[in-house]
Structure 1
Amino acid sequence: MDAKVDKERSMLEILYAQIISDMKSGFPLWEDFLSKGSKLQIALKTTLTCLNTFLDSFQKVADMASGTRGSTKEIGSALTRLCLRQRSVESKTKQLTNSLMEALINPMSEKLEEWKRQLSCMEREHGKESKRVHQELKKSLTEAQKDVKKIKKSL
């Protein structure tokens, strides 16, 4: 019976160690994901700044073309429509950039730190609890063996 209990206990310990190992190995992947997400957000912000200045300049050209006489007036209005569409793209990209940071990167960073603290706490508690249960099990097995010997002597 002692060997069977030890075998089951060791199997549970191995399973627990594998789960903890899997959790720990995931942290660098999450950190890399968040780092790359932050870099993407910064790049998108820079792109938006450049796009905004380009579209301002483009709008000036469109306004100039619209103000002239002849067929360039039609070209100017077409350029203005194109500029407005690009401003719409700029707006959507700005929304994406903001939501990337506010709804993904910041919350995930906070959760990742929380997960690390919880994992550390779990490991400590598991170590203490495992030792306590192991000692209780040894004590119970020893008492059971003593009781078996007493019963054998009395028979």
Structure 2
Amino acid sequence: MALAIGETLPDGKLTLADGTSLSLRERLGRPLIVYFYPKADTTGCTREAQDFSALADEFEQAGAGVVAISRDTPAKLTRFAEKHGLTLTLASDEDGSVCEAFGVWGEKQMYGRTYMGIERTTFLFDADGRLIREWRKVKVAGHAADVLSAVRS
């Protein structure tokens, strides 16, 4: 079930790359970008994480936080961040409950094969946790800059 504009930020238990727990609602009090990506260290996901990392200072200056979520293990997220010099918050949703709450887990197709996976999606919440913008079926090129522009407006 997809979130609708105006709905409240779903919460759930996530694990950061360092093994500590994260509640998304703990990050409220300022705008929050939550983006979901299919798999760490793949071409598109790496590019997206690098783009968000490159704009990290600008997101911070705009007053927004960024959390990137996949179903990868915390250990894989640590290797991913170290290998590519990523500076954003990477969170693991190993059991998929947060993906389900956001409505980003579903049937996908690639090369004639059907499988379950994460739909590359980004959400922008205001400081009170209300959804104000979403991007579904994201194309990576220019996406982080587009999200930054939305935060600034």
Q: Does the alignment reach a TM-score above 0.5?
A: no
Which structure: larger Rg? 1
Give TM-score scaled by structure 1 length: 0.18
Larger strand percent: 2
Tell me which of the two structures has the higher relative contact order, counting C-alpha pairs closer than 8 angstroms and 6 or more residues apart.
2
